[in-house]
Structure 1
Amino acid sequence: MSGLNFLAQRHQAAGAHRRFHLLLAATATGGLAVVLALAWHIAGQAAQQQQLLNLLRTEHARLDAAISLGRQQDEKIDELERKRRHLETLQQQRNDAPQLLGELAQRMPPQVFLTTLVQQGRNFTLNGSAPSHRHVMQLLDALRDAEGAQFFQQIELQEARSAASAVPTNAAPSAIAPGRLHDFVIVGHLAGATQ
């Protein structure tokens, strides 16, 4: 009987299988290396992105703190400015009262007496009495003249009426003629800032 020798074909087939398995192992190893390299690269990029994100969060928090501090300082500046304006207003009013009294003393006609003087801010009200309506008009003219206009504005006679003859307590008996007195109310406004 003659035999066939398949050993050479088996040996060739086994070599082909071995080469295939080696090629498959090399391809899998290469693919795994590429995947690991990509994973390592992506992990490095993610780490850089995380570092950048942390840096941005830190800077954002620092800027938020600086903005908050700036707002607080702006509020303090606004509060100090409001207080400064209030103090200037109080100083102005403190200077206005003596100047108002001095100007009134210079312009007061004889026989005209003030009973009350009320000042609220830049506005004032004079209440008083005079022996005649003519004396009240003299006071109005004195307050409205060119020199008075530098200190007084919007001078108006708000009320004038005849009253019973009562001599003011600070008046000399000879200063007022006998007869009826004329009570008056004058309102006005102080002109610009005092020096």
Structure 2
Amino acid sequence: MSKVYHQFSSIQSTDIAMEYVEPVVGIANCLGTPVCKYLQYHRKLNNYVRNFKRIRDELNCKMEDIKLQLKAELLSPLGKIPKQGVENWLKAVKEMIREAQVVENKVSNGRYLCRACNGKLVDEKTRELKEFLNNAPNASEGLAMDGPSAGLPLPTSELVGEEAVRNEIWACLMQEEVSKIGVWGWAVW
């Protein structure tokens, strides 16, 4: 009888133990991921900061490359204007890089107890920077487009002068590199 009682008692204590263990395990599972992530942000802050600076520098280089290419496209041929999406991206990236500097200053001035919060902040900002980098305008599609034609028709119906000069003026006007030409001479009214 004592053997049966002992088995019954053992089964009963196992049930009671499981009754208390299951909620504790459930709570640990709920808290486990956030706590692990918190500890990861704390432990790996330097890695997050290194990655953040690398992505920030890549974005800054990309912005400078796009500015230079846009400048080149606007110069040849004249009369082009930047695409609106390119201008919007450049403005947004400039603001994003300013925000990144604020984050970097905050992290460098942070206290030891703020490491996890700073790690999370740096990780989130790095993701934003990556998104901007991935959404950069595609330079192969062109960054500028033809602007509206601003030329006005000449009020004269006939150009008077030598045929060779007239042909030379016309040839210059037909070149893409030339956007305007000055002609002077005598006017006969």
Which of the five TM-score ranges fits, normalised by the shorter chain?
0.3 to 0.5
Normalised by the length of structure 2, the TM-score is: 0.33
**Greater relative contact order: 1 or 2 (C-alpha under 8 angstroms, separation 6 or more)?**
2
Which one has a bigger Cα radius of gyration?
A: 1
Normalised by the length of structure 1, the TM-score is: 0.33
Structure with greater helix share of residues: 2
Structure with greater strand share of residues: 1
